[in-house]
Amino acid sequence: MTATDPALTALADSWCALSLLHGRIESHIERALQAGHDLSVREYSLLDVLSRQHDGEGGHLQMKQVADAVVLSQSATTRLVTRLEERGLLARYLCPTDRRGIYTDVSEAGLDLLAAARPTNAAALREALDLAAADPQLAPFVKAVEETRSGVPEPLPR
């Protein structure tokens, strides 16, 4: 294959379109969360991931697992946790079985904020997907996202 190979060009174009869709969705959700709840997309994602922890086997996430889940580096995740902890939305504590481990839980204030922000996040996602679906370049990717519903408890409201 050469750099001008049509298959490579098509692949690159598709990757660019997918990246564009992601950027548009993230920006749309960011604006809605900031305006309605003073939360960034990353802060919302972190609260959401941490709120799903449980007391069972493997129920609490280590910082590396949290970083992977929110698609940030460990250092960026730690800074984000610190910011949310300073706002009273998270609390850290020592792992009861390994004193070297530190876990993070969402506080009651964090759970309340997350509950208030969830409908905003869902509505902004739906709006962003609807806007993107009108773009012929992005429509196939929107369709793919909408058809990939495994693990999603219920469809997003239209």
Continuous segment of H or E residues that includes residue 102:
strand 102-106
- In the chain, where are the structural domains located? 7-147
Cβ neighbours for 90, distance < 8 A, ≥ 6 positions apart: 47, 50, 81, 84, 104, 105, 106, 107, 110
Quote the mean pLDDT of the chain: 89
Res. 150: pLDDT tops 80: no
pTM summary value: 0.84
Res. 152: pLDDT tops 90: no
How many angstroms separate the CA atoms of 48 and 53, rounded?
Answer: 9
Instruction: Estimate to the nearest angstrom the gap between the alpha carbon of 67 and the chain centroid.
Output: 11
State residue 60's pLDDT score: 83
More confident residue, 112 or 53: 112
114 and 50 Cβ atoms separated by less than 8 Å:
no
CATH code of 7-147, in short, is 1.10.10.10
Res. 3: pLDDT tops 80: no
